[in-house]
Structure 1
Amino acid sequence: MITKDVSAEIEAAISSLHAEGKEPTVALVKARLKTKVPMPALITVIKSWKSSQHVPKVEIAAEKAEQPLELRVKELEQQVAALTQRLTALEQSRD
């Protein structure tokens, strides 16, 4: 499984909130993140930061590389064509 380290992103979110005079909460930190981080991980990080001003290393499963748009469109067009054929066959068998 490929993982991605998001510690720096979380630390930046917490630091920016702290600099603004806001108490870092799960909701506020999550809103500032670009990467989806599981709630239990955020809770652990925020507790750690509140007790020792330290953000532990957080790794999450890396998302699959997204296919190019042209390839995705081509696959969708193929699916639509196949479904259209199936629908036509079903309609003909009903008549």
Structure 2
Amino acid sequence: MSTDFTPALQQAIEALLREGKEPTVALVKSRLNQSVPMPLIISALQRWKKNGKVPKIEIIEKVKDADARIEALEAQVRVLTQRLDALEQHSKNNSES
């Protein structure tokens, strides 16, 4: 799975240029409508200044192996079970009062 930030970065830079402003990291970041990691903004801006266009900027998320996914799910089930137990205990205490 990947997240492509190229369109958002392109729009931010183009908006600044239309306003007659020189795109900087801070200005581009302020114009983004989604969270983009700072290193990606810096890289995109450097490459845009060198080549005149925004390169494809994306993050490719690593797929967890089955064991890691199972461990994460088991941990989540433990937390949810504890929360459910606490809610049931709270409900039981309130009904006895």
TM-score by shorter chain over 0.5: yes
Q: Determine if the alignment matches structure 1 residue 34 to structure 2 residue 38.
A: no
8 Å Cα contact 1:45/1:55 also seen in 2? yes
Residue in 1 that maps onto 2:86: 82
CA distance in 2, matches of 1:7, 1:51: 16
Amino acid at match of 2:12: A
Q: Secondary structure at the match of 1:4?
A: strand
Amino acid at match of 2:15: S
The TM-score with structure 2 as length reference comes to 0.60
Going from structure 1 to structure 2, the CA distance change for 1:14 and 1:25 (only over 3 Å counts) comes to: same
Q: Secondary structure at the match of 1:60?
A: strand
CA distance in 1, matches of 2:27, 2:88: 46
Q: How does 1:1-95 map to 2 (within 5 A)?
A: 2-60=1-59, 79=83, 82=86, 85=89
The TM-score with structure 1 as length reference comes to 0.62
Gap regions ≥5 residues in structure 1 = 63-77, 90-95
CA-based RMSD: 2.9
8 Å Cα contact 1:37/1:60 also seen in 2? no
What is the CA-CA distance between 1:79 and the residue it aligns to? Answer: 3.9
Amino acid at match of 2:86: A
Gap regions ≥5 residues in structure 2 = 62-81
Instruction: Count residues with an aligned counterpart.
Output: 73
